Chain A
């Protein structure tokens, strides 16, 4: 299996009892983990229907990792993502602040992969909406400090997106992307099309 045969020497013969027990445990772990890895080659099925096994889930959490290697399985539909917070002042004017906490700093440019993952998952991950709700609450709680303790008007998280068009349409007229804008706040975590 390994091709290392020429370099092999047989395992040491007589071992103390404790070392033998240790070696047996190590061998048992290696056999189990190797079988587990080989079984992981088949892509995992959607576990939505069945209750996950707790022991296996613990093993995946602490030892093996989830073994979900769906690298580049799907392509991002986005070409451009620009999240920011827009605050209305008392005179009806609008000011823009960054969406990154702490400090309401701007979404990084050039874009960083981890920030894209973060905001893409916050905005689209229907399985874990509580992260986004908590983020919106934090923004709501943090904004007054930037305005002398009281917010002058309403605020919203505005996200400009450019969606990639299908190749068929792009080849027909040369247009590559379609812009869209949604806004979110505590009362509208699913967003409103603008």
Chain B
């Protein structure tokens, strides 16, 4: 049995082991792209959701903020101020994408997430929460300088990527595990009528307003949709485990991307959720993937040629 000192050193070994900084750079860029897309979709409705002339009363939102109300929209209340805040946030997300003032840009993204969720809690969705938790983890993570505009301008593309602490990636991977497993457990423990347990969920879902093609055809595929209900639960249990294990991580990514692509095909207007979840898979990349992926792509093109 290892001595006590070895056990006490375990957290430091786990969180402070060294990993390739390109993994952080990939997560940073993926996060910034999805957050920017989310912002673009919010832009046409910014006055409805966030301004004083909109649909959601600012004073009521403030009164409901527990244990505190924190939102930049407490100061940006007019139509012009709301537009300016969104434009500034877009600029911050572009900076995050290209790796300029990275820590500050990530902090701005976190404040943005907190602000709009607090100001308009009635319009929030699952992907807002995914972006919130990943914004926080980006703030405390190494920024991944190697893939950034300054590094590119310095000709750093040829430089060897640095080895940095793994703590951010460990927390990101744990977060993905929590998202999937808690979702499955919540459904399993839901009181009756529990459509996940009796296998009817997919049929009801495909008849609901979420569905892209609701109609009588759903009733004809009852057994298949029951199978799909149970398969979805199993897939969500398996995805984080497959992603975490080195040998199966690509199967995990394939399963996860297939699941979320399927959700996007059969539902309307939640594509950002699928993209946000796929973005989280970048935290499971390994150093060797940065050689393996280009090699595989090159071989694939060579075979096609």
Contacts and interface: CB of A to CB of B under 8 A. Distances in A.
B186 A37 contact: no
Contacts of B166: 2, 4
Interface string B118-154: 0010111110010011001000100000000000000
Contacts of B269: 110-113
Contacts of B45: 112, 114-115
Interface string B176-197: 0111111101110110000100
A41 B57 contact: no
Nearest to B136: A63
Contact of B47 (A37, A102, A118, A135): A102
A130 interface: yes
Contacts of A167: 200, 203-204, 219, 222
A61 B110 CA distance: 11
Interface residues of B, number: 88
Interface in B269-305: 269-270, 286-288
Contacts of B183: 69-73
Interface residues of A, number: 76
A116 B209 contact: yes
B129 A66 contact: yes
A117 B186 contact: no
Contact of A33 (B54, B165, B171, B204): B171
B15 interface: yes
A2 B17 CA distance: 10
Interface stretch (A24-32, A87-95, A148-156, A179-187): A24-32
Given A102-B47, A135-B55, A130 B122 contact: no
Interface in A66-109: 66-81, 100-102
A69 B124 contact: no
A171 interface: yes
A41 B204 CA distance: 26
A127 to B, nearest CB: 9
A163 B11 CA distance: 52
B12 A27 contact: yes
B33 to A, nearest CB: 20
Contact of B187 (A3, A41, A68, A73): A73
Contact of A78 (B56, B140, B165, B208): B208
A121 B180 CA distance: 24
Contacts of A33: 171
B178 A41 contact: yes
A121 B230 CA distance: 29
Nearest to B269: A113
Contact of B209 (A78, A121, A171): A78
Contact of A61 (B19, B53, B67, B187): B67
B219 A170 contact: yes
B171 A34 contact: yes
Interface in A132-161: 134-135, 138
Contacts of B181: 41
Interface in A1-32: 1-4, 7-11, 23, 26-27, 29-31
13 contacts: A4-B287, A8-B17, A10-B18, A41-B182, A43-B186, A65-B129, A69-B182, A101-B54, A113-B270, A116-B209, A131-B60, A164-B204, A164-B207
**4 tightest A-B CB contacts, nearest first:** A134-B57, A3-B246, A102-B53, A43-B186
Given A11-B12, A64-B133, 20 more contacts: A2-B17, A3-B245, A8-B17, A9-B163, A11-B18, A27-B12, A27-B16, A30-B171, A34-B170, A38-B174, A42-B182, A68-B129, A75-B210, A100-B48, A112-B45, A115-B123, A118-B55, A131-B122, A134-B57, A176-B215
Interface of B: 11-20, 42, 45, 47-49, 51, 53-57, 59-61, 63-64, 66-68, 70, 114, 120, 122-126, 129, 132-133, 136, 140, 163, 165-167, 169-171, 173-175, 177-183, 185-187, 189-190, 195, 200-201, 203-205, 207-210, 214-216, 219, 222, 244-246, 268-270, 286-288
